[in-house]
Chain A
């Protein structure tokens, strides 16, 4: 049986982005007033796992680190077809940066027992470091392929995947156990269904705190985070003035001037 672990993150609903505030002291996101949703690319990761389960003999566990309301998104993943859920939930996990998050998730995955495949979304919509997945792989000591957009071939434990590059792709052969981070091109996540929600009634969500993982308080959360945010400014639509400049001349000249200006502004 293929054992798959999918890492999922509860992120503030991007549709409600204007309601997200930043704590002036810790400079972390204040998520309290914003509804949490499953990070979009994580839905692709869950979909990939569920599709594998439909084809092979597989067991899909989702794991998330987050505050108690994040249980909802774990339950949602169960409704989408995952078999069991793990929520790493402890005051001590709060304020974690990418490193502390990866560390805690890696510990959680280790505690879950053996696994053959770990799937993550390539990035989260709130932090966007693209770093948590690869770091989990490094901590678990397994090969990592980032930005996977297609699973091309599965030959036993040797898989061939297509991984996106800025202007093309790499074909990578990887041996399981491995960690893949996935892009949205990989699949179209299925819709949440009423019968799926009903079937999730019987599935279990286990909650683990730092004692269950056997980790030190200093190693997780804000205390375990080497990243310090030096400064953060919220771009406020009202304060930012738009400068309008008409570029005249022939189309070619205008295009050239535009390119020059964009380059001068450091935007190219």
Chain B
């Protein structure tokens, strides 16, 4: 018989994550909205709460708890601050190419620092010429002696200005069909974060450009083999990046529902709370049904991953469903609040802005459908 219950331990993870989110993340939200920046204090707190260690194996100082525990943590943090959840999810996305494809030396060098939050990771795939179509990127590399020299420009990169351990996808200067991944450390000459984006939502989560100008990195920073770069980047995004977006979306969705229920119970019209109105109940029911369904899709996919199975198709379906549902839920939450929902004093206006950013990150809904259709047609 299939078991769809969380274990006692997983419930405890949720409690720990909720406690952390409510006491250590929530106080930073207002400032993040105002400045668009995340404080060092919050990043440090994420590290101290072992949030960066969840998916890193124990032998490299991580907790090795896998993807269900991570989804629980992201969901709880996303419920309080989707921007913090997105930042955190991309730290793990940045770790994934190293845990999945790195050699022993690379794992020993990077993973312990990443687990403690002393190092921060991201992945740079997207460029102006290629988001959904990563084969159209232009960043190139050439071999010089034992080193590699990279040149190009990445955009929309989460944690661009705070990450120091970055997986970059580039293509061969001589043979452009050769896509390859490299680990680039932020201090290296020829590398610099450039323009910082001013986003409509997820404020406080840093997004920006990375510029590589004749950036020379040692040969040992080649990740996996030459020519395997697309597979490495796409596996990390497909298995870890998408699962992370599911966590952000589920957390955001929960926040929308909770705020709506609270408001509907308190707002009195016609002499009684509007939660008694069928029209309002209809919206609440839709939000609840989508949330329940989304959680089933997401946790089924992560439990497959925790059993050592691939789940990129299941995660594409889950990412499509949960991010679309979060957007619908955010709109309904604003609607339920009437004019109050349009005021920045109420968190639902932030939820609505944030909900539009869970769409494109880690692949658009259209691309998720392309993947799911391929799965259906298999």
Interface residues of A (CB under 8 A from B): 72, 75-76, 79, 191-198, 201
Contacts and interface: CB of A to CB of B under 8 A. Distances in A.
A13 to B, nearest CB: 11
B16 A193 contact: yes
Interface of B: 8-9, 11-13, 15-16, 19-20, 23-24, 49-50, 53-54, 63, 65, 69, 73
Residue among B12, B15, B53, B69 facing the most chain A CB atoms (10 A cut-off): B12
A194 B15 contact: no
Contact of A192 (B16, B24, B63): B16
Given A191-B16, A191-B23, A192-B15, A197 B49 contact: no
B65 A72 contact: no
A209 to B, nearest CB: 21
Contacts of A192: 12, 15-16, 19
25 contacts: A72-B8, A72-B11, A72-B12, A75-B12, A76-B15, A79-B16, A191-B16, A191-B19, A191-B49, A192-B12, A192-B16, A192-B19, A193-B16, A194-B13, A194-B49, A194-B53, A194-B54, A194-B63, A194-B65, A194-B69, A195-B63, A197-B9, A197-B12, A197-B16, A198-B63
A193 B50 contact: yes
Contacts of B65: 194, 198
Contacts of B20: 191
A265 B19 CA distance: 40
Contacts of B23: 191
A252 to B, nearest CB: 37
B355 to A, nearest CB: 26
Contacts of A201: 9
Contacts of B24: 191
Given A192-B19, A193-B49, A79 B63 contact: no
Contacts of B49: 191, 193-194
A193 B47 CA distance: 12
A79 B50 contact: no
A194 B8 contact: no
